[in-house]
Amino acid sequence: MKMKIECVVFDTSALLLMFTRGLRIIDQVIELVNSPIIPVVPYPILNELMKLSKLGRPGIARASGNALNYIISNFSIASATGSPDDSVVAVSREYGCIAVTCDMKLLKRLRQMDVRAIYLRASADRLESNFE
């Protein structure tokens, strides 16, 4: 049996959840996808986190700095341009990746483009997917 490895693109909101709320996002994603993953962050997301780590409110700045350190040692960085949201859509579509977001506007865009997505079900504090 051949195992599929899924690439999974994370947006800023999902990455920050790991460090603001202490949610084990990566573990939940692996559970939902049910296969090994390659975590990916598009370059504009890195830029956004760098800005937030310098200019964000203290809690967000700290979480952004922690997220950056975590990404650098655990994620692949995807070359992309445009806004952070545009880059998540572009990388997900180009490589057939699953997108992870907590941004409802971005989730709606991903759904309209038939991109598989994982998002936070706020009422349950758990991630859910829009695919089987």
Using DSSP bridges, classify how beta strands 6-10 and 126-129 pair: parallel, antiparallel or unpaired. unpaired
The strand ranges marked E within the chain are 6-10, 37-42, 76-78, 98-101, 117-121, 126-129
Rg (CA), the chain: 14
pLDDT at 124: 72
pLDDT at 90: 97
pLDDT at 1: 63
Q: What global pTM score does this model have?
A: 0.94
1 secondary structure, DSSP code: -
Q: Which residues of the chain have pLDDT under 50?
A: none
Alpha-carbon distances of 55 from 20, 64, 65, 71, rounded to whole Å: 16, 10, 11, 19
* Cβ(130)–Cβ(117) below 8 Å: yes
The CA distance from 96 to 55, in Å, is 33
